[in-house]
Amino acid sequence: MWTIDKHRYDKLPYPTVIVVGGGFAGLEVVQGLAGQPYKVLLLDKQNHHCFQPLLYQVATASLGADSIGHPFRRTVGPMPNVAFRMAEVLRVVPQEKRIETSVGDFRYDLLILALGSTTNFFGNRAMAEHAMQLKSISQALDIRSDFLQEFERAMVLLEEEERRRCLNFVIVGAGPTGVELAGALAEIRRTVLRHEYRELDSSLMRIVLIDSNDRVLKSFSPASSARALRYLEELGVEVRLGQRVMGGDDERIQLDDGTGLETNTVIWAAGVKGMLIPGLETAVHERANRYQVDRMNAVQGAEGVYALGDIALMAEEAWPHGHPQVAQAAIQQARHLVRNLIRRSRGEGAIPFCYRDKGSMAVIGRRRAVVDLGRRSFGGTLAWLLWMFVHVVQLVGFRNRVMVLVNWAWKYLSWKNTIRLIVRPYVRRGTVIVRPFTPVE
């Protein structure tokens, strides 16, 4: 292990590994290569790691943004062979082993792409323009401001129809993000809206969860899907299965059965696709929008380039269409690639990757969660506690773990979402969403 006093990063005589993206996979690679005979450069357009599984809690005012974000420089600071640059990668030039970024060009010996995913609107341009997303901390803060602004606006409107439109919240996509977000909003209706907005009839708030599949949490076991649907219905969430959102604007959406819903807030959580960058088009699987990689995560046709996580399409016998785009797949691939790079530095050969499915879990409000572990599925309080434990352990940084535990404990004891501040009003298409109020006579 080197010391910062004796060695400067730019003078280290080791192969240069550039890691693009500081999500679960990218951060795992950086931490795994710390102290190894490689010169590592982490690039990300943000200056922090975001713990995406808890984004919905930032969006629903249960956690602050700093509880799930961790600065990259705090992580790489003690690592003498690792550096960080805040930059957006614009293009890869594999034949020259060079990448072009917003802060200049960088040359590499090995390039590791861990760009993660972006929202997939499946060609629905209207929703791409009007719907809200939940893939970053800034988007979570937009959702938080939006629903609080809608509450305040509904307080002063005289027409019930306009109040209902303010209090209609539509979530498209009944995967883990959609289900967890719907459950959190339902608890806000039951607690915050009822007790702190007493002039409003809380029953006017409507939460609609729409999905084109025949059940919620399609990737979970049928038993967990049924249990999650029951929890949602107990919380008063209106679940519409087998329906698609065809279009809409800032005040209304249209469904494929010809009906519509009046709403100011649509949150799109219906799917994701790999976040690709120009320069490696020959390796892209167009239908999946992911890079085709071998069992060592090497991108096909690009020497020295690897892809991990959501952007990597690796076929195994048990996973012929690639691994699920979830955190555990990204982390496992990253750890395996680190082992292979260490073997490479020792002159040893690489070994193929094999994915281990460690199960799935989702939470739907207080003491309501579902867990799939192998062939076993269960729910209720035990699943809820297990979900909390797993997510706290996976958080980056001791401070974040403590903050999340404290916030969860206070929320459990007080029944309150503590961070209900509109500090940056949500702006849609250049106009603050809080329209001029009608005076109350």
**Residue 180 is a catalytic residue:** yes
**In the block, residue with structure tokens 């309150």:** 416
189-194 — which CB contacts under 8 Å span 24+ positions? 189/236, 190/235, 190/236, 191/415, 191/416, 191/417, 192/416, 192/417, 192/420, 193/151
Question: Six-digit token pair at 336?
Answer: 């395996």
Q: Which of 271, 274, 252, 249 is nearest to 262 (CA)?
A: 252
Other beta carbons less than 10 A from residue 301's beta carbon? 13
Q: Which of 319, 342, 340, 339 is nearest to 329 (CA)?
A: 319
Helix H or strand E segment including 163: helix 160-166
Q: Which residues contact 395 (CB under 8 A, 6 or more apart)?
A: 51, 54, 68, 401, 404
8 A C-beta contact, residue 264 and residue 166:
yes
Query: Phi/psi of residue 175, each to 5°?
Result: -80, -170
Other beta carbons less than 10 A from residue 65's beta carbon? 16
Rg of the chain over all Cα atoms, to the nearest angstrom: 23
Q: Which of 54, 145, 119 is nearest to 268 (CA)?
A: 119
Q: Which residue of the set 28, 150, 180, 187 is catalytic?
A: 180
**In the block, residue with structure tokens 């403590």:** 402
Please identify every residue annotated as catalytic: 180
